[in-house]
Chains A and B, each alone.
Chain A
Amino acid sequence: MKNFLIALLLVLPAFAHAGEAKDLADDPVMERRMILLAEKVRCLVCQSENVASSHSDWSNDVRQIMRDKMKAGASDQEIMDMLVERFGKSVLFDPPVDKETLPLWTAPFVFLFLGIVVLFFQLRKRSTVVQQEVALTSEAQAHAAQLLKEENK
């Protein structure tokens, strides 16, 4: 009985299979190309994820459409253009620099520049303040020297 159970357990892994890899296309080269392209596309349902890694229904559809288009001989650029035409540039994780996206691309540098300017003026102000404080009158200096002398006794 025990042996039978062990044998049964040993056979069990043969029936285990992962259901997820199901939608792998018959052509692994094309599937690889599709995944590389899908990594550049934003999943609009789950916006911080890309279409290649997303499990949403919409991403599944986009991947299937990419496969279909590739099978029909479309280039990567043609597929991307088709997606942008329907969903806008926000589907691209790396949107092209143009009139519409210019603020998006330049804003970090503008803020960095503003930060540097503010920092520069702050530091300059501070250094002049420090210099003013250092400029003691000779009387005060004599007094300070006196105090230090007393301390050292």
Chain B
Amino acid sequence: MMRFILPFVIFIVLSVFLYIGLGRDPREVPSPLIDKPAPAFSLPLLYDTQKQFTTEDMKGQVWLLNVWASWCGACKDEHPVLMDLASQKIVPVLGLNYKDKREDGLAVLRKAGDPYVLTLFDVDGKVGFDYGVYGVPETYVIDKQGVIRDKIIGAVTPHNLRDRILPLVAELNKK
């Protein structure tokens, strides 16, 4: 009897491991910045490069920082989701236009709509680098104290918005 049970158990265990492995995205590297203070920065605004934004401006608010670029395909997929989120006015979303040409970035917002409270212009990607950005789009959830609480690598979808981002935002807003 043992002869059959043991291989069967090994088979089941291996199957479970492989199944979990299949569902995971190896590109998703867990960020070491979670639960650390969001790196402070000062950047010009995309619409008006004369004006500067600093991370201090968002202190006391829960907010999302969405890193995007006109050359990024997945950003086009998440754009309508962000537009929908913006219309609900649940949480302010700031855009970080990452390594983009200013006119290209502006053209996207003009054509597809602007879901952002503010759009910051990170032309050389220095701020993106400090935030550990390696593939756009990436979205950070930042709490009232300016601590990064979550990072979504890849597009924001109605699914991860409902199950992951919004519950966290609600919880952080209570504090």
Binding site for B on A (CB under 8 A): 44-45, 47, 57-58, 61, 65, 84-91
Contact = CB atoms under 8 A, between A and B. Distances in A.
Nearest to B32: A88
Given A85-B32, A90-B29, A61 B130 contact: no
A44 B33 contact: no
Contacts of B33: 86
* Main SS class of interface, B: loop
Contact of B134 (A58, A65, A85): A58
30 contacts: A44-B27, A44-B29, A44-B134, A44-B135, A45-B27, A45-B134, A45-B135, A47-B26, A47-B27, A57-B99, A61-B125, A65-B129, A84-B32, A86-B32, A86-B33, A86-B129, A86-B130, A86-B131, A86-B132, A87-B29, A87-B31, A87-B32, A87-B132, A87-B134, A88-B29, A88-B30, A88-B132, A89-B32, A90-B29, A91-B29
A111 to B, nearest CB: 12
Interface string B129-160: 11110110000000000000000000000000
Contacts of A61: 125, 129
A57 B125 CA distance: 11
Contacts, number: 37
Most chain B Cβ neighbours within 10 Å, of A65, A87, A89, A90: A87
Interface of B: 26-27, 29-33, 99, 125, 129-132, 134-135
Contacts of B30: 88, 90
Contacts of A57: 99
Nearest to B39: A86
Contacts of A45: 27, 134-135
Given A47-B27, A58-B134, 8 more contacts: A44-B135, A45-B134, A58-B135, A65-B129, A85-B32, A86-B131, A87-B134, A88-B29
A16 B125 CA distance: 33
A67 B27 CA distance: 26
Contacts of A47: 26-27
Contacts of B135: 44-45, 58
Contact of A88 (B31, B125, B130, B131): B31
A9 B26 CA distance: 50
Contacts of A65: 129
